Chain A
Amino acid sequence: MISLNGQQSDVRAGETVAAALSRLNLTLDARGVAVAVDGEVVPRAQWESFALAEHARVEVLTAMQGG
């Protein structure tokens, strides 16, 4: 099971970060978005190639009002 923003997801091991982003209706050109997998930044350039492992924790973040 791969967790996506703290929720169980239907993303399966071997799928890419880009595939996970599509579950959140985000495309590769989404502005102001960053991804961390298991506490490490995955740069945008690797979104299409980075394959997720079983039990990966994917965090997809963007700007929110704050500070």
Chain B
Amino acid sequence: MIADVHETIDTPGRASPNGAHASDDAAAGRSAQGAPSPEAAVSPAPPAPSARADELTIAGRTLRSRLLLGTGGFASLALLGEAIAASGCELVTVALRRVDPQSRGSLIDVLADAHVELLPNTAGCHTARDAVLTAHLAREAFGTDWVKLEVIGDEDTLLPDAPELLRAAEQLVDEGFVVLPYTTDDPVLARRLADVGCAAVMPLGSPIGSGMGIRNPYNIALIRQAVDVPVVLDAGIGTASDAALAMELGCDAVLAASAISRAQDPVAMAQAMRAAVQAGRLARGAGRIPRRLYATASSPDVGLPELGPA
């Protein structure tokens, strides 16, 4: 499916053995056919990140890991702790729900032991009013003014309610919150959210928990182009290659939840996601070759021996 939108291939006439045209095309963000490829749409690509320090900064907070973890769906708190360690993440989302006096073990304690920062979400809110109140409660509960803002507009798809989301974002920014909105893959809405002062935007690849990956890579690349704040691919990640693609498209980070917590081996998948985010980030900086319809020999013609008749 992804291949459909990747059919931005060089024609044979433009192909050159040394790839000179290729770099021109990549720099212009266009193939010989004139269609942008998602990876090349944002240009120029950032310089290759050094292995030493490739940190992500959101609202003044520096993160060494570009993988964020959602804590939902883990079968136990112990498994969550192990997955956090394997993922290397430093920022995890939590939901705010009624205290259950019968519940055993404390999520707060597990997360404190893991030395991760909390990113409270407003999951389950359907109006700007509820989301704003939930953000205030989260600030009271956890002492953080960071919030992953979710305002859901549809129960079946859990897609964001754009007008309510924008309204809530504007109000929370005005009240001093660091707002990271879960948004659609619409570049215009992402820009509006950034314009009202959101610290990052978190577009979906596909619906929450669907595992369908990134359904519109062009839009994700366009969002990276449209805003100056970090872009965190949120929702829809199914496996490691989806996370790598997000980073290749120019995303600054990836948030994975169900893809890890509901995998058959969540700890192994956490490791896989960590490696995929790093690989995608490196590949993005390295600059990929363009796709071509025909082969381009990687061995020289010069010096080819004549081996006589068959």
Contact = CB atoms under 8 A, between A and B. Distances in A.
Nearest to A40: B133
B141 A33 contact: yes
22 contacts: A5-B98, A6-B98, A24-B101, A31-B106, A31-B109, A33-B99, A34-B138, A39-B133, A44-B140, A60-B99, A62-B97, A62-B99, A62-B141, A63-B95, A63-B107, A65-B72, A65-B73, A66-B97, A66-B121, A67-B93, A67-B95, A67-B255
B266 interface: no
A63 B70 contact: no
A62 B140 contact: no
Top 8 nearest A-B pairs (CB, nearest first) are: A66-B95, A67-B93, A34-B141, A32-B108, A64-B97, A34-B140, A67-B121, A34-B137
B140 to A, nearest CB: 4
A39 B93 CA distance: 23
B101 A64 contact: no
Contacts, number: 93
B30 interface: no
A64 B136 CA distance: 16
Given A41-B133, A66-B94, 17 more contacts: A5-B99, A24-B99, A32-B142, A34-B96, A34-B140, A60-B98, A62-B96, A62-B97, A62-B107, A63-B118, A63-B142, A65-B73, A65-B95, A65-B107, A66-B72, A66-B121, A67-B123
B148 interface: yes
B273 interface: no
B80 interface: yes
B98 A59 contact: yes
Contacts of B111: 63
